[in-house]
Chain A
Amino acid sequence: MSVVTRAAVDIEKPPPRARGWPRARIVGYALVGFWILFGIGIVTYLVFAWNGEFFARYAPAYLQGLWTTLALVAISMVLGALFSLPVTYARMSKNRYLSVLAYCYVYFFRGTPLLVQVYLVYYGLGSFRVQLESVGLWWFFRDAFNCGVFAFALNTAAYQAEILRGAIESVPRGQWEGAASLGLHKLQTLRKVILPQALIVALRPYGNELVLMIKASAIVAIITVYDLMGNAKLAYAKSFDFQAYVWVAIVYLVMVEILRHGVEWIERRITIHLKR
């Protein structure tokens, strides 16, 4: 018995690291050195470009912009999640017209750039002002923030519908049949059997979608929403100080990294029971 274990241990042992200076190591050290120099360069730039007045004037605006960004993403993620439910239902239904309709919806919103969709809503619907006023919806589409939320929600609904569909289809058919044989009806099956398994699969794509939305939300700066990026643009236009963009890049990077690691942590927590 012990012999077997020892053999197993011998096999498991990783190969010894190459010694000396093979080419890969030279290249690797050079590249890491480049990144370190780059980091030092950014820090020294920010130290030398430090401008108390700039900071005092624009830091509150950045903070406000951060809230706008977070609000935009949160609202459109939730609305998108709600709207993705009927889309997923239609996409998975046996009615061919319904599923083709949902497929076209998803294809359009995934096949065209988000920027085009945002323009279509903000500028495009703006050209139907008279009609919108007569329906009483103009107050909503007049505001750039609302247009951003509207376009983002429709866009993310298409992506989330695909995520949800993929997750539900990843649950084996036997689960549906087993639940049916226990006498659960469709909705109960979905809620108690399928979704708990599907959402574990869906967690990572949902996290990715959230990160993508945060990154994409910078686009609304172009339609004059003063989110994080919008405030950076404003600060740059007023001061011609390039650090406006460097700071905003750092804030986005930190935000995305926190989210990414947060999602990974949650995934590790909720899949503990699947580890063997």
Chain B
Amino acid sequence: MPSQNIWILLSWGPDGWIDDIAYGALVTIALALATLPIGLTIGFFVAWAKQSEEPSLRVAANIYTTVFRGLPELVTLFLFFFGMPILLQYVVRLFRPEATVDVDSFLAGMIVLSLIFSSYSSEVFLSAFRAIPKGQYEGGYAIGLSKWQTMRKVILPQLLRIAFPGLENCWLSLLKDTALVSVVNLAETLRNAGVAARVTKHSFLFYSVAAMVFLILAILSSIATGFILRSLGRREAR
């Protein structure tokens, strides 16, 4: 058993590992935040397609969610991380035969997490769509708004309010899913904690620290969403 002082290991600086883990936590947050807008946008459009009157749109959207909710996150990640370079290389070599393609693990993680997040958030958006009465659309059309304008100015503000609690859950699982990207060598919280664990042999300590980081992120997000919910509630029309 190594017998270094754990307080030195947990210090900030060259002997300690907390700075590395804190840097990893920043990467985790950055990855989750970068995924969020893409995932929300795709999820919204997928939900829109799912409740459309056009059957072909519904079919396409249903295939999307079936695939990305059915595949394990890890499998999707590996498919993209190993498959995308092969495909890209094939395309690029048509023009520049010498080229090699490497995919950045942050980018691969972002794409995969967006796909997963959007397929889950689309379900939340879909149930929110169903909660909005038809009269809202009809009212929008009746005052001369186009389809897109009605969606943007009448439906979307109500939709976001209804969908918010569900989206909070999606966000929490997105935060947790970022840990998976450590498997393809992205230097995020878990990866850096793992490096620290391997070097110092204090595995339990450093994996507990990683768990604490994720717990703190979860707690911070619930505080933040609590604030947003309260301000949403205050603005609600009565």
Contact = CB atoms under 8 A, between A and B. Distances in A.
Given A128-B204, A242-B82, A257-B70, A28 B55 contact: yes
Indicate the member of A112, A216, A229, A236 with the most B CB atoms within 10 Å. Answer: A112
Nearest to B75: A249
A167 interface: no
Interface stretch (A56-64, A89-97, A117-125, A264-272): A117-125
A215 interface: yes
A34 B70 CA distance: 19
B60 A113 contact: no
B11 interface: no
B66 A257 contact: yes
A24 B54 contact: yes
Interface stretch (A142-150, A183-191, A196-204, A217-225): A217-225
Contacts of B73: 215, 218
A49 to B, nearest CB: 11
A270 B56 CA distance: 32
Contacts of B66: 257
Interface string A122-146: 0111111010000000000000000
Nearest to A246: B79
Given A18-B53, A28-B57, A115-B182, A218 B72 contact: yes
A32 interface: yes
Interface in A14-67: 15, 17-18, 22, 24-25, 27-29, 31-32, 34-35
A106 to B, nearest CB: 12
Interface string B57-79: 11111010011011111111011
A256 interface: yes
Given A113-B179, A127-B202, A252-B71, A17 B211 contact: no
Nearest to A15: B53
A171 interface: no
Give the size category of A's interface with B. Answer: 35 or more
A66 B49 CA distance: 35
B190 interface: yes
Interface in B170-213: 172, 176-180, 182-183, 190, 194, 197, 201-204, 207-208, 210-211
- Decide if the interface of chain A is mainly helix, strand, loop or mixed: helix
B228 interface: no
B204 A229 contact: no
B72 A119 contact: no
Nearest to A119: B207
B213 to A, nearest CB: 9
Contacts of A115: 179-180, 182-183, 190
Contacts of B58: 28
Contacts of B72: 214-218, 229, 252
Interface string B17-56: 0000000000000000000000000000000010011111
Interface in A214-252: 214-219, 221-222, 229, 232-233, 236, 242, 245-246, 248-249, 252
A248 B75 contact: yes
B75 A229 contact: yes
A151 B31 CA distance: 26
B201 A127 contact: yes
B211 A130 contact: no
A229 B71 CA distance: 12
Contact of B60 (A32, A217, A256): A32
A257 B69 CA distance: 10
Contacts of A32: 56, 59-60
B86 interface: yes
A166 to B, nearest CB: 14
Task: Name, among A32, A35, A113, A232, the residue most crowded by chain B CB atoms within 10 Å (CB to CB).
Answer: A113
A24 B52 contact: yes
B180 A108 contact: no
A123 B1 contact: no
A111 interface: yes
B182 to A, nearest CB: 7
Contact of B211 (A35, A120, A221): A120
Interchain residue pairs A-B with the least CB separation, the first 10: A28-B56, A31-B60, A28-B57, A124-B204, A113-B179, A218-B72, A215-B72, A123-B203, A111-B218, A113-B176
Given A28-B55, A35-B60, A245-B78, 8 more contacts: A107-B215, A108-B215, A113-B176, A113-B178, A125-B204, A218-B74, A218-B75, A252-B75
